[in-house]
Amino acid sequence: MEGEPLTDRTYNHVAFQIQEKEFDLYMKRIIELGLEIKPECPSVAGEGRSIYFYDFDNHLFELHTGTPDERLSRYLQDE
């Protein structure tokens, strides 16, 4: 991200799709970098897993094991 670091942390974030088999590898890398990881929220079965973490400038990122279509489809099942 360009510009000055953010002064406040928000839930506004940038999300990236990763493969389920890569989840542990990415988690390990984020921990090794010393980045702050938000606690994992309980998720709905079938929507995939997410890692939310802040960079050193307070930007929030998400790595998610699924597609937006899969996530929306899962939520529509409950309606």
Catalytic residue ranges: 62
Is the Cβ–Cβ distance between 26 and 18 less than 8 Å?
A: yes
For residues 74 and 45, what is the distance between their CA atoms, to the nearest angstrom?
Answer: 8
List, as one string, the DSSP characters of 45-73.
TTS--EEEEE-TTS-EEEEESS-HHHHHH
